[in-house]
Structure 1
Amino acid sequence: MAADITQTDTLVVGAGQAGVAMSEHLSHLGVPHVVLERDRIAERWRTGRWDSLVANGPAWHDRFPGMSFDDVDPDGFPTKDQVADYFETYAARFDAPIRTGVEVHEVVRNTTRPGFSIDTSAGSFEAARVVAATGPFQRPAIPSIAPDRRSIHQIHSSEYRNPGQLPEGGVLVVGAGSSGVQIADELLRSGRPVFLSVGPHDRPPRSYRNRDFVWWLGVLGKWDAEAAQPGAEHVTIAVSGAHGGQTVDFRALAHRGMTLVGRTGTFDNGVVTFEPDLAANLARGDDNYHSLLDEADAYVRRNNLDLPEEPEARRTLADPHCVTRPILSLDLVEAGVTSIVWATGFSTDYSWLGVNAFDEAGQPRHQRGVSSEPGVYFLGLPWLSRRGSSFIWGVWHDAKHIADHIATQRKYLAYHHDAQRAGIEQHPTGQDRSTPVGDPAQTAFRMRTN
């Protein structure tokens, strides 16, 4: 093999939370590997988020099992920079073999020898296995209905940093998941007129009966759900850790001055239309909210827990005018709207992964991250194995499953090589001339070389 080709057993692409978790488990299992990251460790937390972002879960929950946040109250919500620092510190604890500033251009399966060839900005690599740990936030998704960008200032939520970067005037925020609702709230607090386009959503209480909603989802077994309810695969969740953590209440936002509208329909000559579904979307969120309260109350009674009752949690504000008399079309100029923030999510980008591991829609084919293409793995995706896969602790557990799968495959291959060395093949007479083989777990992967 040429001297300028770096060889390893497992190559991990991406050093965010998924890549760091993967490296920890591979290190623990003694699997030789390297992690390639085109920017810095946890770069998306630092530069791919708005300035005031905090984690959506409390510090006691949104972390890896092996290390707590040492500068955040357990019930507090770490800032984006504290989260990024956490992953850098965590990786340093076990000396993770992460190479930053290296972009992966292409991964292809070798045709005349085992494994994969990887072309990068730092030269060529070869590996028996490849883990795509780039996560779901790769390509900002702006729907095709968006107007010409020359007609109005538009940015995706991944580009938004603070109210000061937008031109003076009102803002239409499209999308009311966690990102959209937090950005809209920040803009409202800054004094901007804000229109928030609200689609179907889940709306859990931030806390109930002195326990955060992440605790309730844990004890009620909801983090372990293996698939979204039919029809709910693309429903967003409206939750926030901002300002110490508060339940998202769209009616409260409207009573403070925000104008709620239904899902965005079309743009035509400066006029935007909205679907007449605002009340129905709010009602759906209310149902989700009250359902969790009901399950929590039942859990308290069933387990005889001493948790304070919270009747005020069931009080609902009156519907504001924007709900009872919904706006179905809006002339942006007349309304003083000068900007649109598209909080419409992301799509994945695996254009660099040139293997047969995707379905007709371009989505990875996998079972708990183990691809249908042997030797390829996916990590960091929502619902990879269960609902909790989207959270920091969830990706850690997903990574452990994948690392165990890799270690098992290495054992089988090690047995094959040891069996060949020991001469397990029988004589033509049928007599076994084998000798004992070594522990396959202690045998390193042997890749054919040129």
Structure 2
Amino acid sequence: MAVEEIDTLVVGAGQAGIAMSEHLGLCGVPHIVIERGRIAERWRSERWDSLVANGPAWHDRFPGMEIPGADPDSFVGKEAMADYFAAYATMIQAPVRCGVEVLDVRRRIGRPGFLVETSRGLIEANNIVAATGAFQHPARPDIVPDGFGLLQIHSRDYRNPGQLPDGSVMVVGAGSSGVQIADELRRAGRRVYLSVGPHDRPPRSYRGRDFCWWLGVLGKWDLDTPGPGTEHVTIAVSGARGGETIDFRRLAAQGMVLVGRTNDYSDGIMTFAPDLRENIERGDASLFAILDEADAYVDRNGLDLPPEPAARIVDPEAECIANPILELDLAEAGVQAIIWATGYTVDYSWLKVDTFDENGRPRHQRGVSAEPGIYFLGLPWQSRRGSSFIWGVWHDAKFVADRISTQRRYRDYGAANHRATAAAATFVRS
């Protein structure tokens, strides 16, 4: 069987893979990008219908191209975002091969590089860039057994209210996905129970500027490590309906029933931790901390940004917050569906190399792994807070491409030196 040879193989043609291709091209590194679906497939087929980007169009894009037809302050829908990445790939002439799945990657024995088994044949590559990101497989806690006439799906499989059976809905997880889905269901007339865990909730905008701008000027995108105890804290933010600050008290006042973190399930009864008020107050504290820093920045720089005292108003507590539910009989409450908005896990089972910890997470430094020739891109906190965002992954890709290019020059020098030595020896013998 013929084996194709390439210097660098990029696995995945989402935002990470396309950014990687751009920088490898600029560095002159021969490469191909393999994608098992379409470019930006997860945007198209693994997210709900009404999803929009969580950042405005001026921010959530690559530096080299604006999003066609989008107002800079708008929040672009998922199909338009997928189209954007496809158009970007065309613009940079990215060598993307769609409909090809990587099945197995192993280090070659006795010589550098890796042997890659794909659904379309074998490839030998000196470098592998795993650009599949951190959101690969749904993480669904093993709490409620399947069956009993209750529909359970992960947020990845939710599309719209019409796909759910009639009745109330329990949404577990109050990050960006969970709260947006819960609010959509509430607006569709469903009774919604939302399980709220620890979270941060930044202002969508403040004093006329979007929170993406505030995090930029306050230097928070460039934080290189999460704060103590914040590694797994979700962020509740939304670009829906033109963008809005998530306010759990307001959602409760509008009829959503909030409960604490989901603990357990037995005989039709779901139980919750008594931490609802604590989680909401923690979210408030994160909001007010950003507002304080923003006000100080305005004063220090003499900016003409009008004050916004309404941003600090705390609404009265609804009954579900004042007297939180600790147990819920799902049948009695009419709950017919549970949506688990509980995040994702990584899956690098196809990558048979020694660069993962005991939990299957990559061991790396800014995407450069402990295994020579293996690189990662699109991971949260890969180099800083902004790494898993569209513009952040573009900058991380530049660093990884520079590293690959540098190693390639060393390798090529060694090969050239070996050829010159061999040629000289041949000349002497002759």
TM-score of Structure 1 vs Structure 2, range by shorter chain: over 0.9
CA drift at 1:326: 0.4
> Which amino acid letter does the alignment assign opposite residue 354 of structure 2?
N
CA distance in 1 between partners of 2:130 and 2:37 (Å): 16
Preserved CA contact (<8 Å) 2:68 2:84: no
The equivalent of 2:134 in structure 1 is 136
CA drift at 1:414: 1.6
CA drift at 1:268: 0.6
CA distance in 2 between partners of 1:140 and 1:395 (Å): 22
Decide whether aligned partners of structure 1 residues 315 and 419 sit closer, same or farther in structure 2, where only a CA change above 3 A counts. same
CA drift at 1:360: 1.5
Counterpart pick for 1:208 among 206, 209, 217: 206
Unpaired stretches in structure 1, ≥5 consecutive residues: 428-432, 434-450
CA distance in 2 between partners of 1:101 and 1:418 (Å): 37
Q: Verify: 1:13 aligned to 2:11, yes or no.
A: yes
CA distance in 2 between partners of 1:349 and 1:151 (Å): 31
The equivalent of 1:332 in structure 2 is 330
> Which amino acid letter does the alignment assign opposite residue 300 of structure 1?
V
CA distance in 2 between partners of 1:425 and 1:365 (Å): 41
The equivalent of 2:246 in structure 1 is 248
Please, what TM-score do these two structures have when normalized by structure 2?
A: 0.97
The equivalent of 1:314 in structure 2 is 312
CA drift at 1:413: 1.1
Q: Verify: 1:367 aligned to 2:345, yes or no.
A: no
Q: Verify: 1:90 aligned to 2:88, yes or no.
A: yes
Preserved CA contact (<8 Å) 2:8 2:128: yes
> Which amino acid letter does the alignment assign opposite residue 397 of structure 2?
A
CA distance in 1 between partners of 2:17 and 2:75 (Å): 22
The equivalent of 1:147 in structure 2 is 145
The equivalent of 2:269 in structure 1 is 271
Range with bigger deviation, 138-147 or 202-211: 138-147
The equivalent of 1:283 in structure 2 is 281
Range with bigger deviation, 187-196 or 137-146: 137-146
The equivalent of 1:447 in structure 2 is none
CA drift at 1:426: 11
Q: Verify: 1:297 aligned to 2:295, yes or no.
A: yes
RMSD, matched Cα: 1.4
CA distance in 2 between partners of 1:319 and 1:383 (Å): 35
Within 5 A, what are the aligned runs for 1:400-411?
400-411=398-409
> Which amino acid letter does the alignment assign opposite residue 147 of structure 1?
P
> Which amino acid letter does the alignment assign opposite residue 132 of structure 1?
A
Preserved CA contact (<8 Å) 2:146 2:152: no
CA distance in 1 between partners of 2:31 and 2:399 (Å): 16
CA drift at 1:150: 3.9
Within 5 A, what are the aligned runs for 1:60-99?
60-99=58-97
* SS across alignment from 2:152: strand
CA distance in 1 between partners of 2:421 and 2:100 (Å): 43
The equivalent of 2:190 in structure 1 is 192
CA distance in 1 between partners of 2:285 and 2:74 (Å): 27
* SS across alignment from 1:222: coil
> Which amino acid letter does the alignment assign opposite residue 295 of structure 1?
E
User: Per-residue CA shift, 1:216-257, capped at 9, x if unaligned?
Assistant: 000000000111111110000000000000000001000000
CA distance in 2 between partners of 1:228 and 1:150 (Å): 41
CA distance in 2 between partners of 1:357 and 1:106 (Å): 15
CA distance in 2 between partners of 1:122 and 1:242 (Å): 40
Decide whether aligned partners of structure 1 residues 215 and 424 sit closer, same or farther in structure 2, where only a CA change above 3 A counts. farther
Within 5 A, what are the aligned runs for 1:226-241?
226-241=224-239
The equivalent of 2:115 in structure 1 is 117
The equivalent of 1:177 in structure 2 is 175
* SS across alignment from 2:157: coil
CA distance in 1 between partners of 2:294 and 2:11 (Å): 40
Within 5 A, what are the aligned runs for 1:33-44?
33-44=31-42
User: Per-residue CA shift, 1:93-136, capped at 9, x if unaligned?
Assistant: 12110000000000000012210000000000000000000111
CA distance in 2 between partners of 1:332 and 1:94 (Å): 52
* SS across alignment from 2:106: strand
Sequence identity (%): 65
User: Per-residue CA shift, 1:249-269, capped at 9, x if unaligned?
Assistant: 001000000000000011111
CA drift at 1:71: 1.2
CA distance in 2 between partners of 1:328 and 1:309 (Å): 40
CA distance in 2 between partners of 1:70 and 1:308 (Å): 31
* SS across alignment from 1:223: coil
Counterpart pick for 1:413 among 408, 411, 414: 411
CA distance in 2 between partners of 1:35 and 1:321 (Å): 53
Preserved CA contact (<8 Å) 2:155 2:178: yes
Q: How many positions carry a matched residue from both structures?
A: 426
The equivalent of 1:25 in structure 2 is 23
CA drift at 1:8: 0.1
The equivalent of 1:162 in structure 2 is 160
